[in-house]
Structure 1
């Protein structure tokens, strides 16, 4: 029996993945399912560039803006939620289109979750105590030595993921890269057409800076201020996202607004570079430039026709 088809639109931030998905939905019944780890947060629709009202009106959208700032999202939880949404979309006679830039989430969905053992509580507490005393940057520096490939994919200020990598290494003696690539995974449950949107980093950078300015004009700072009133814990998972962390620095008096904006642009560029590095290692991706939406839709329609 053939595996059910899904389309995966991937690539670095700011490359027009949502508009490409909507172009596909204009040609056949389809629904968009998010696989971006930041766009799950309810309090940050502007800062995380979640689809706006017009984009959502074009076709159904799922797994956007549902998680409180204080809750964390993991790859395992994402897979559980995504599988549920994929089956619901298929039950409606629609094509599931997964859209996002969190490569680990997509890989976990397509190849299975690495069976990382439960971490003993004493090791978890030891790592959390280190984070509190030294900051996640110290753990990231160690990670750069023990697991440089994984370190390149996460930000030094990402408390959750740096702590997770440290506790897994302490508990198992294996790196996150080993668990994600060398351990045995379940076979892919879907027949996936992977479509990538990318642009040279030097060409993408000014577009990212302009998008950040638009986010600020549309009320990104007010959004962060309201979120801080609801969740003033600076260590909450939702605050670790790029844009959120920099504006939090301004709200807490550590940065001027100009400094926060400059840091936001710099960190977004670095994140886009990490995304490009990750996806360039993936196989079977059909690459397009931003705006080539008709060609993306043509490929999707032809691929489905070939499958019968």
Structure 2
């Protein structure tokens, strides 16, 4: 199999519930591929159901990498994902398999194709102190502090973006430099230009929203509430990425008796729809190299991409 594919990869992105996983599995089965996760929530082992990770049967049919390999207590970063993705990519190349990156996290694809800034590890005590101040004083106060210490970064951030404001403040406290400065001194991309084909599945909005609603109901039926209950019982910091996965905060509030299940479901569906809108915007503006394709046309696109990947020229 070692000569079966060139170094080219196939990238399948799209909003949540757009049908990416089924297409990736079909392509991998037909083309001798390895499926590599590029979704920031599907890395967490605690969140199989709520993030619609591939099933155990699907994972047994074809090699899957970077799914469920991180504990929910870990604040997993794009840099850590790139390091893991590099190993998975090398494995695919050694085995002569077609690397198929699939997911909806724009930052992961951006890092894969354009490189990533190399920010030194943030000491745990600084991260915990910043997050504690965020909880105690609120996001407005933290943004005001960032504006004093790193006005360029503060100016670029939405006043309600808790995660990025905290991150920018952590970096300036830990390194004495702006996060923007680190962005200019990054790692080269794992997949340089012309080494991949990239598609963004773009269903009609009404169709997508109907699929989001249907999938949410299916996840509840598959045990999502029990999964969230087990996660909540761990008493983890609510600011950890896994604790902020879509629907998790609302379902935790339901388990605490603060919301009915229907109220929690309404919030979860709405949050997922808003996220899908942001995914459309991110890929349109940040990743123009992705070809936009309707899901019904995706199989033809993927067949052509797989053929190109076999061509070493």
How much is the aligned-residue C-alpha RMSD, in angstroms? 3.0
Residues 1:33 and 1:121: Cα distance change in structure 2 (over 3 Å) = closer
Q: Retained in 2: the 8 A contact 1:75–1:105? A: yes
Q: Which ranges in structure 2 are unaligned for 5 or more consecutive residues?
A: 1-5
Match of 2:52? 49
Contact 1:15 1:197 in 2 (8 A): yes
* Separation of aligned partners in 2, 1:65 and 1:128: 25
In 2: Cα distance, 1:141 partner to 1:209 partner: 38
CA contact (8 A) 1:127 1:166 kept: yes
Which residue matches 1:38? 41
C-alpha distance in structure 1 between counterparts of 2:176 and 2:282, whole Å: 24
Residues 1:136 and 1:248: Cα distance change in structure 2 (over 3 Å): farther
Q: CA deviation digits over 1:68-117, x for unaligned, max 9?
A: 22112101110111111111122122111111111112211222221335
| Residues 1:224 and 2:228 are matched in the alignment | yes
Separation (CA, whole Å) in 2 of partners of 1:55 and 1:273: 28
How far apart in 1 are the matches of 2:176 and 2:219?
A: 42
Q: TM-score, normalised by structure 2?
A: 0.83
Cα deviation code 1:24-46 (max 9, x no counterpart): 11321101010111001111111
Q: Verify the 8 A CA contact 1:23 1:297 in the aligned structure 2.
A: no
Partner residue, 1:109: 112
Shift of 1:179: 5.0
Secondary structure, aligned partner of 2:133: helix
Greater Cα offset, 26-35 or 247-256: 247-256
The change in CA–CA distance for 1:132 and 1:150 in structure 2 (over 3 A counts) is: closer
Structure 1 runs (4+) deviating above 4 angstroms are: 117-126, 135-152, 169-173
Deviation at 1:118, TM superposition (A): 5.6
- How many residue pairs were aligned? 298
Is the Cα contact below 8 Å between 2:201 and 2:298 reproduced in 1?
Answer: no
Distance (whole Å) between structure 1 residues aligned to residue 120 and residue 299 of structure 2: 45
**Alignment partners' CA distance in 1, 2:124 and 2:44:** 27
Change (3 A) 1:119 1:300: same
- Which runs of 5 or more residues in structure 1 are unaligned? none
Instruction: Check if 1:286 corresponds to 2:287.
Output: no
Structure 1's 9 and 179: CA in aligned 2 closer, same or farther, altered over 3 A?
Answer: farther
**8 A Cα contact 1:194 1:285, kept in partner:** yes
What is residue 3 of structure 2 aligned with on the other side? none
Q: Which moved more, 1:187-196 or 1:218-227?
A: 187-196
Compared CA separation, residues 121 and 257, structure 1 to 2 (3 A): closer
1:220-272 CA-to-partner distances (Å, cap 9, x unmatched) read 1011112223x122524421111222211212333221111111111111111
- The residue correspondences of 1:143-182 to structure 2 (distance < 5 A) are 151=158, 156=161, 159=163, 161-168=164-171, 174=178, 180=183
Map 1:79-94; keep pairs closer than 5 Å. 79-94=82-97
Matched, 1:264 2:265: no
What does 1:232-251 align with in structure 2 at a 5 Å threshold?
Answer: 232-235=235-238, 236-251=240-255
* TM-fit CA distance, 1:291: 3.9
> 1:55: how far off?
2.6
